[in-house]
Structure 1
Amino acid sequence: MKNILEYLEHSATTHPDKIAVLDPEKSATYEELLDNARRIGSFLSEQEVPHSPVAVFMDKSVEALTAFMGIVSAGCFYISINMDQPPTRIRQILETSNAGSIIILGSDTSVIKEAGYLGKCFDYHHMIKHEINVDALAKTRENFLDIDPLYCNFTSGSTGIPKGVLVSHRSVIDFMEYFPSLFHITEEDRIGNQAPFDFDVSVKDIYSTLKMGATMVIIPKKMFSIPTLLLDYLCDQKVTTLIWAVSALCLVSQLKGFTYKIPDQVNKVLFSGEAMPVKQLSTWQKYLPNARYVNLYGPTEITCNCTYYEINREFQAEEKIPIGRPFPNEKVFLLDEENKQVTTTGVNGELCVSGTALALGYYNNPEQTKRAFIQNPLNQNYLELIYKTGDLAFYNEDNDLCFAGRKDFQIKHMGHRIELEEIEMAINSFSPIERACCVFEEKRNRITAFYVGSMEGKELSEQMRKSLPSYMIPTAFRTITEFPITPNGKIDRKKLLEMCL
């Protein structure tokens, strides 16, 4: 296998009339999805050459997923642009990608024009009326290689310009070779999609669905601010599988959504993106005791995830949930600051990854690609690229990897090097606290703790002094009703810093 379209084509053959994807407005069977994808692909083959980027500017929906498959049919790769982003960021993405075509819904191009885009805009509804050009699509497939790009997801860049992580068909195929089978995702599953389509968590939803002939239920973003609507939708749609960001799961448990309704058909809960607070996990385990829980870890640059830890017991509040062990066909190891391998239990090192799942690099950005994707310093005999994640981890006594924070969340305060995550874990261990996040204000040289919970800051400080040295005690404590969340479902630390001003 060398093209992800083979997943769709196989499922369209075996389950032509089965619903492949649905949202609150519409649905598409596998046969309809494939047919419309071929029409879009035929249209684009007259506009673009293979390997070109094509942007999709629409909310996550049946149409957006169909557009992705159409772009791939034309031999191009897709870039999903979140419509909630400001025009400046949209302009940066379009300039970096140099996309010559954008697919939209309808004829309103005002937002695109406001971003300064001068390329071609095509209406989805017009494209799906195009005749299928069998010869053009066949020729594209004949010249296709599995290392050709599939999608480009833009992440934040240290320079302030978004970086486009370019991922090949081969990397997704390699990951999907193991992901559904490891967690028993089958054609019977209904996968509840939480992640936006410009976030790689959605890659697991999309391609697990297409590979296994399952059904993907797209959950609108607005439902994640109203737990009753969300739980009604999960129950009504008989969702069985959640592959969600930690913050999305915490929203349900923090706001006591399970006292309203329990989505008892959910039997798999896979989470990633941040450290899962033990109390929130325990709440899910309490109300869905028979579900399978898995902690997933991995940055966008290694195609979704590189390690996993299946949770088979209850954790105590002060415990750290491991990120586990590598997926098959991925090598995950730790390097110290001198690029020597770390194997000693309890000693931190930077987490590095090697394998087929590595991205093709950052699109149109050779300098940052060279800095992040480097030759394995442990191998001097042949070319072996690794990705240095910038994350710190250590091995526990069971030889499972445990996340120990970002290198850039490591601060120097009062002469000491401090991991902010260690402070967060201490706060999260107190029963009146729902969730906590710490930020470091460099100008004021102080640590501020934000938290959802009922404890007073003075009491928190006193309790923390029982387990942490004084230099790790936050200077300021601020209670909030909910955390600001990034489009990718993580706590927005930049907004927390702005709230300190």
Structure 2
Amino acid sequence: MDNILKYLEKTAERFPDKTAVDDGTVQFTYQELLDKARHFGLYFLDKTMPGRPVAILREKSSEVLAAMFGIVYAGCFYVMIDPEQPLERLKDILSVLKTDLVLTDSTYKNQLEDAGYQGEIYLLDQERTEASLTEQDVEKLMERRSTADSTDLLYGIFTSGSTGKPKCVAVSQQAVIDFIGHFTKQFEITDQDRIANQAPFDFDVSVKDIYSAITTGATLVLVPKRLFSLPPRLLDYLCDKKVTVMVWAVSALCLISSLKGLKYKIPEDARIIMFSGEVMPVKQMRLWQQALPQTKFINLYGPSEITCNCTWYPVEREFQDGEVIPAGRAFDGRTVFLLDETGADITESGKTGEICVAGESLADGYYHNEEETARRFVTGAVPGETGNTRFYRTGDLGYFGEDENLYFAGRKDFQIKHMGHRIELEEIERAFEKLDGVSRCCCLFDTKRNKLLGFYTGDMDEKEVHQELKRFLPIYMIPAKIRRIEEMPLNKNGKIDRKYLTQEWS
């Protein structure tokens, strides 16, 4: 029976004294990471039941990584929560999870209490004496392990929800094992690599970093969040740590190149740089290619619901302004296809349809949300398969070029990608509606300027609206431009005329 812990244990056996994780302050060898995870697991065994979610309200760190594996040793699945979440959103997340154990530290304990959480709290920053594990301790962990299965959930990741409530993508251990097997083979990741983890652990980009390291014996280098406001220090860090693999969000790479960071210093040890989350601007792509001509660049595409990515494309030439970098071709083990509005398969090049994915590594669905799961994870005909097959409707639009590569062509509905995050515009509108001084609202995304726009009617002034939205939304979901209007324009069908508002703004 396959289990993600088996990979950690085997790697610790092969490389006990090698650095497994380095967060810039604390380093653990693989043996230390394994021992730490087992200590956590032993404690958690008695605090919750197998199969339950355990939340972690804290920034990423070496200690948090060990705690994540400890949760898995306890037979549970982990859910990372950004500690900068506004209180109302934290309440929503906890109401979805219904967890009875949350890991945090003293800094964020009051947030949990303010959110009405009444379960067990484990403080990660509390001093504890850890005795060596006894044979009896290990037997206890193995007994819990014997009830585990590869289909058990490994983690949950919260994304924006169209109902105004965030939804939790639930991913199994087997889904991660299957994907990482293809991923590490495709990009030749080995124990010689040093992987620079940019993404926070509540973002699915981090899954590739963590499990590529754990399965191969590579070293995971956590890049502290504070460095992203200081590009020179960020580049110093990447160079000092001699990172060889970067799997980053587009916005993070663009932060360096657009602020001329590559003129200061170049991470010359990077042999491969992969990016995802948004469309990579070709101007920024060229800056990276010119700075690192020997480095391989890979465009990745895919939502959390199919465990990180479903397609990849090697960028082997300089693209010119106006060109689109392809999303590429499917990873082994999965089928990527397009459906038109009638549900028919699209095979001709250049014709746009909804991107759908079948095969390995589909998420189990949305935790405690059967209605949304049934809407997006459907069963039907899949090209190359006999009978009906389960697949995921991404809501993204795309087309196949004459080169047989998939090309991303935007969103089908009101979900957009902004700053590397998937956002439901309806969730932002729900936050507007919570404000007493707002009567009606409409949120748009200006693709040309890459900005969220918010329109509303009511008597609250614009600055106050902006301030109040911070109670309900993370910063990246708050519109950059908010405008009060006298009345909401309607189209001939009686719906808000979004096209008119977009034109008015521009």
TM-score range, shorter chain: 0.7 to 0.9
2:212 aligned with 1:211, yes or no? no
Matches within 5 A, 1:135-150: 135-150=139-154
On the 8 A contact 2:382/2:388 being kept in 1, the answer is no
Supply the distance in 2 between the matched residues of 1:107 and 1:47 (Cα, whole angstroms): 22
CA contact (8 A) 1:43 1:130 kept: no
Equivalences for residues 245-264 of structure 1 within 5 A: 245-264=249-268
Instruction: Describe the superposition over 1:280-318 as per-residue Cα deviations: whole angstroms up to 9, x where unpaired.
Output: 000000001100100000000000000000111111111
Q: How does 1:104-123 map to 2 (within 5 A)?
A: 104-106=104-106, 109-123=109-123
Measured at CA, do residues 491 and 180 of structure 1 come closer, stay the same or move farther in structure 2, by a change above 3 Å?
Answer: farther
Q: Is structure 2 residue 275 aligned with structure 1 residue 271?
A: yes
CA root-mean-square deviation: 2.7
Instruction: Pick the aligned partner of 1:495 from 479, 489, 505.
Output: 479
User: Amino acid of the residue matched to residue 153 of structure 2?
Assistant: P
Partners in 2 of 1:296 and 1:25 — Cα distance?
30
Q: CA deviation at 1:169?
A: 0.3
Instruction: Confirm whether residue 324 of structure 1 aligns to residue 308 of structure 2.
Output: no
What is the Cα deviation at residue 408 of structure 1?
Answer: 2.3
Other-structure match for 1:395: 400
| Percent identity for Structure 1 against Structure 2 | 48
What TM-score results when the alignment is normalised by the length of structure 2? 0.82
8 Å Cα contact 2:396/2:409 also seen in 1? yes
Q: Which residue of the other structure, out of 161, 165, 170, is the alignment partner of 2:169?
A: 165
AA in 1 matched with 2:142: A
- The equivalent of 1:41 in structure 2 is 41
1:158 partner amino acid:
S
Report the counterpart of residue 72 of structure 2 in structure 1: 72
Distance 2:108 2:225 in 1: 22
- Is the Cα–Cα contact under 8 Å of residues 382 and 389 in structure 2 kept in the other structure? no
In structure 2, C-alpha distance between the alignment counterparts of 1:102 and 1:42, rounded to whole Å: 16
Q: What are the Cα deviations for residues 185-211 of structure 1, in whole angstroms up to 9, with x where unaligned?
A: 111111111001001000000000101
- TM-score by length of structure 1 reads 0.83
Cα gap change, 1:253 to 1:445, in 2 (>3 Å): closer
| 1:253-272 CA distance string (max 9 Å, x none) | 10000111111111110000
Provide the residue aligned with 1:94 in structure 2.
Answer: 94
CA distance in 2, matches of 1:215, 1:280: 28
Deviations 1:91-139 (A, max 9, x none): 1111100110011234861111112111100123567737642222111
1:23/1:500 CA distance change after superposition, 3 Å: farther
Name the SS of the counterpart of 1:164 in structure 2: strand
Contact 1:40-1:128 at 8 Å conserved across structures: no
Q: In terms of mean alpha carbon deviation, does 118-127 or 236-245 score higher? A: 118-127
Task: Give a deviation string over 1:56-91, Cα, whole Å, max 9, x none.
Answer: 111110111111000001110001011111111111
Correspondence 1:450 to 2:455: no
* Matched-pair contact (CA < 8 Å) for 1:348–1:392: yes
Q: Which runs of structure 2 are paired with 1:11-90 in the superposition (5 Å)? A: 11-90=11-90
* 2:353 pairs with 1:353: no
Contact 1:298–1:307, Cα closer than 8 Å, also in 2: yes
Give the residue type in structure 2 aligned to 1:498. Answer: I
Q: Partner amino acid for 2:480? A: L
Partner-residue secondary structure (3-state), 2:247: strand
How many correspondences in the alignment?
A: 438
The one-letter code matched in structure 2 to 1:129 is: E
Distance change >3 Å, CA 410–CA 45, structure 1 → 2 = closer
Kindly report which structure 2 residues correspond to 1:263-412, keeping only aligned pairs within 5 A, or say none: 263-378=267-382, 382-408=387-413
Matched residue, 2:465: none
The unaligned stretches of length 5 or more in structure 1 are: 412-419, 421-440, 453-485
CA distance in 2, matches of 1:128, 1:293: 45
Conserved in 2, the CA contact under 8 Å of 1:39 and 1:128? no
Distance 1:234 1:443 in 2: 42
Aligned partners of 1:146 and 1:446: how far apart in 2? 40
